[in-house]
Homo-oligomer: A and B are copies of this chain.
């Protein structure tokens, strides 16, 4: 076991080295660069097996915001609150990836229903739908869930990042979805939830802990506690494979084959069912807003240990 961990660590350190040598090629969104702590070189990776062991490499001490990864939280809570039949009256189940020129078009289905809960529209709608009397109560529930998933009971959001999140496009989406009947509540009861959850900060190890719970069908790999119900976790993983990587989801399913969700902070959470949780982080983004280093590292790890859910040897 120790032997295997060493071997894993040595491989992770190797791929981190490769990333550090590779020229930076991507972009960091301005507002992220301003408010977040990470710099271009802050590449890191962490693996947490469902037996609870974690191996990590790179700059693993930094904290970064979850950004779109947090979209998993209100979806999980809304599903546990209302059941899937009710939830999918409010968002579609369609994959992401049919590239259209307009951000808004891209997120809408025929009757203007959000495409799925992983696009901005869908996540805003989920923040409206999940139970909670007001924004503060909803944020408390999301923080409680995020703390259980990461194992860090001090976890919170970064105030500066939260403020930077308050942007016109999401305001527009809120009113558009309320106009279409998919949101019932007030602006003040919904949008702060969306922006605060986006600003929740984690370490790479906390991210791989969270991934491991998803890989472990909702059960914490440390405490053994059922944090999210099995059915809901199955739904999360299905959405992660069909729409977790923005418009690159189809391509990522083909080439990496691991249910994953990325955020514009450059972080990605990835869960191999019944095996392993992975967190990767590298701030430079490609044109799909996914971490360049993150995708490259996940591809190497998937190839190295045959982790694609579509490939041959993963059950061995």
User: Which residues of A approach B to under 8 Å, CB–CB?
Assistant: 92-105, 108-110, 112, 115-116, 167-169, 171-176, 178-179, 217, 230, 234-235, 237-239, 241-243, 247, 249-251, 253-254, 257, 259, 273-274, 308-312, 314-315
Name the residue on B nearest A217 (C-beta). B312
A167 to B179, CA, bound (A): 8
Complexed CA–CA distance, A167 and B181 (Å): 12
With A93-B251, A94-B250 as given contacts, are A179 and B175 in contact (CB-CB < 8 Å)?
no
Q: Which residue of B96, B167, B173, B259 is within 8 Å of A95 (Cβ)?
A: B96
Choose among B108, B234, B242, B310 the residue that contacts A311 (Cβ–Cβ < 8 A): B234
Residues of B within 8 A of A311 (CB): 217, 230, 234, 273
- Which B-chain residue is minimally distant from A112 (CB atoms)? B102
Also in contact, A254 and B239, with CB within 8 A (given A169-B175, A312-B217) = yes
- Alpha-carbon gap, A235 to B174, bound state (A): 35
Report the minimal beta-carbon distance from A244 to chain B, rounded to whole angstroms.
Answer: 11
Which residues in B have their C-beta under 8 angstroms from that of A273?
A: 309-312, 314-315
Q: Give chain B nearest CB distance to A64 CB in angstroms.
A: 25
Say how far A98's CB is from chain B's closest CB, in angstroms: 4
Tell me, in angstroms, the Cα distance from A274 to B112 when the chains sit together.
40
A-B contact pairs, 8 of them (CB 8 A): A100-B110, A101-B110, A104-B104, A104-B105, A169-B175, A172-B175, A274-B314, A309-B309
Bound complex: CA A314 to CA B104 (Å): 38
The docked-state distance in angstroms from the alpha carbon of A131 to that of B309 is 30
**Copies of the polypeptide in the assembly:** 4
Cβ contacts under 8 Å, A274 to chain B: 312, 314-315
**Cα-based distance from A109 to B253 in the complex (angstroms):** 18
* Residue among A94, A116, A169, A315 facing the most chain B CB atoms (10 A cut-off): A94
Whether A116 touches B250, Cβ cut-off 8 Å, given contacts A94-B97, A259-B310, is yes
Q: Which residue of B lies closest to A236 (CB)?
A: B310
* A97 lies within 8 A of B95 (CB): yes
**Assembly CA distance A259 to B315 (angstroms):** 16
Inter-subunit contact A98/B102 (CB<8 Å): no
Q: Which residues of B contact A235 (CB under 8 A)?
A: 254
- Contacts A101-B110, A116-B250 given; indicate if A310 touches B95 (C-beta within 8 A): no
The distance in angstroms between the C-alpha atoms of A315 and B50, with both chains bound, is 14
**Residue in B176, B254, B310 whose CB lies within 8 Å of A168:** B176
Supplied contacts A94-B251, A273-B310, 14 more A-B pairs, CB within 8 Å: A93-B254, A94-B95, A95-B249, A95-B253, A104-B104, A104-B108, A167-B179, A168-B179, A172-B179, A176-B176, A230-B312, A237-B310, A242-B249, A242-B253
Which residues of B are found within 8 Å of A259, using beta-carbon distances?
310
Cβ–Cβ < 8 Å partners of A254 in chain B: 93, 235, 238-239, 242
